[in-house]
Amino acid sequence: MSEAVTARRLKDHAASLETMTRFVLATLALASGVYTYLGVRSLLDGSAAIVFFAAIVYSAAVSVGMYGFWSYLMRFLPEMRDGASRLAMFAVMAVGSVMIVAMSSWLNAAALAGSAAVEQHLAETLEGYTGDLEQAHGNALGALSLLPDIQRAGERFARLADEERSSGALTGTSGAGSVVQLLTQMSAQMRELEANIRASQELVGTLFREGQEHLASMRGLVSEPGAIAPRSDRFAEQAVALAGVVSSLQQTSIAPSVARAAADLSGGFIAPVADGMSPDLAGRQDQVMATIRTSVDSQSKALSDAAAEILAQPKVAERRYVPLSSAEAVLRYAGDFVPSWAGAISIDLLPGVLIAIMSIVQGVIRRGDEQMADADRITAADMFRSIELHDALLALRQRQPAAGQSADAPTPAGNAVPPVPPRPAAAENVTPIALSERKRHDP
């Protein structure tokens, strides 16, 4: 009896919540339509009137479709009794849910987190450009690491020239001969290479400061409040300018020039003819110039190897800023906006939870109805109809002549048909359980 009472109460509750269920479905469909409208507007191009009309039509179609889809499922799925039909309806619900996510949920997520996703795209692009600028700056300044070696080599050649000129430290005879001339030539080449590197350093510094200014502007655009679309346009302008700075930094690297100069030290070595007045001095000058040539070859090889290492560093890959709409940014950075995606999908698929609840309730009601006795299934209205039908049949039988009796014989007084008591007006809605409860409580 308790399960029968539970089933009856669940029926009453389901009937009382029908209006609320429709209100919930309508509210969720309307909310989804509003956010779908905002998401669609960010994707469409054209005049304001066309965009507004198209977005309204699409969002209205989404709202109506969602309301109808969930209403049909809420009506039919709980009534499915066999497993095959129920599985088929659940499969239909799964397919419909995927279609709802495809046509509405991602647009809802774009409306909820579109601006934040575009800012995420700007921030990651800014980080990439920052790395490119630093790498290009490092490659351009790589030749500066050679500057101490070049300075030492130039100073050494200049010092040897001074010592040979003043005291004849190399040949044993002082004076400005061919050895001094060769040492002075090598020292001049080293100083020229040093001057080129220092000039390149100033140009690289100027370009690097210009790139930092562009990066500062881009950081301000990422964190600046306001609409994201105009900020994205200005960010693109700064990105193009910064890409030009990075390209200039790569082209102003002095490393290729150092490599060529190092090769010229050895390959373009021109030793002067010994100008000693005596054969002995000329021979000593030739020996010293051969030693200088060996030293120049060694210095050239060291500079060439160092320049080759600098040139072997990876080049900065060309980077091009690609602006994204809010919907595209939400899809690309979906992993960073899981709460927004969860909220957008929940708005569209929450009616599925209500359908599951109704399916469980209907299952409990059916089990309660199956355990009810036949008498518990009969309402008071059914009882009164049965009594009326019984009395009508009894009256019809009494009017018929009995077997062997004249049709005009009066009906015995004992078989008089009692009058049918009037049926209460509210009998249609009174169940046998309710009558028993009322009888027990009435004095």
Give the pLDDT confidence of 213-244 residue by residue, as tens digits: 999 999 999 888 888 888 988 999 999 999 88
Average pLDDT over residues 196-210: 84
pLDDT, averaged across the chain: 78
Return the number of other C-beta atoms located less than 10 Å from residue 226's C-beta.
9
433 band by pLDDT with thresholds 50, 70 and 90: very low
Mean pLDDT value across residues 245-249: 86
Supply the pLDDT for residue 138: 83
Higher pLDDT, 306 or 52: 52
407: confidence class by pLDDT, cuts 50, 70, 90? very low
Q: Tell me what pLDDT residue 264 has.
A: 67
pLDDT of residue 91: 92
Residue 419 has pLDDT above 80, yes or no: no
The 10 Å Cβ neighbour count of residue 156 is 16
pLDDT at residue number 403: 46
Residues of the chain above pLDDT 70, percent: 79
Q: What is the CA angle 68-364-373, rounded to 5?
A: 125
Q: Three-class SS of residue 31?
A: helix
CB 215 within 8 A of CB 102: no
User: How long a stretch of residues is the chain?
Assistant: 443
Whether 16 has a pLDDT exceeding 70, the answer reads yes
Across the range 312-317, mean pLDDT stands at 78
* CA gap 425, 380 in Å, rounded: 11
Highest mean pLDDT among 38-52, 91-105, 264-278, 389-403: 91-105
Mean per-residue pLDDT for 113-137?
A: 89
Q: How far is CA 163 from CA 151, 171, 184, 283, 427, in A?
A: 18, 10, 12, 19, 133
| For residue 289, pLDDT beyond 50 | yes
Put residue 44 in one of left, alpha, beta given phi > 0 → left and psi -120 to 50 → alpha: beta
Amino acid 381: pLDDT: 75
What pLDDT, on the 0 to 100 scale, is given for residue 41? 85
As a whole number of angstroms, the distance between CA 201 and CA 233 comes to 33
36-45, 270-279, 281-290: segment of lowest average pLDDT: 270-279
∠ Cα 105 107 110 (to 5°): 115
**Quick one: pLDDT at residue 368?**
73
Mean pLDDT (whole number) for 170-189: 70
- Arithmetic mean of pLDDT, 107-119: 87
- Tokens representing 92 are 């239909």
> What pLDDT is stored for residue 294 in this prediction?
76
What tokens appear for 399 in the block?
């009017």
**Torsions phi, psi of 172, nearest 5?**
90, 0
CA distances from 138 to 135, 207, 277, 322 (A): 5, 12, 53, 26
> If you average pLDDT over residues 18-31, what whole number do you get?
91
What is the rounded distance in angstroms from the CA atom of residue 193 to the CA atom of residue 147? Answer: 9
Give the number of C-alpha atoms closer than 13 A to the C-alpha of residue 341, restricted to the C-beta side.
15
Structure tokens at 41: 């507007």
Sign of the Cα pseudo-torsion (172, 175, 177, 180, in order): positive
Q: How confident is the model at residue 66 (pLDDT cuts 50, 70, 90)?
A: very high
Least confident of 102-111, 121-130, 432-441: 432-441
Which among 38, 32, 111 is positioned nearest to 66, based on CA atoms? Answer: 32
Higher-pLDDT residue of 184, 179 = 184
Please, which residues have CB within 8 angstroms of residue 51's CB and are 6 or more apart in sequence?
41, 44, 45
Residue 328 pLDDT: 83
Confidence tier at 430 by pLDDT (50, 70, 90) = very low
CB 435 within 8 A of CB 378: no
User: What is the model's pTM?
Assistant: 0.62
Q: What one-character DSSP code corresponds to residue 172?
A: S
Residues 6+ apart with CB under 8 A from 271: 178, 182, 289, 292, 293
Percentage of residues in the chain with pLDDT exceeding 90?
18
Please give the biggest Cα pair distance in the chain.
182
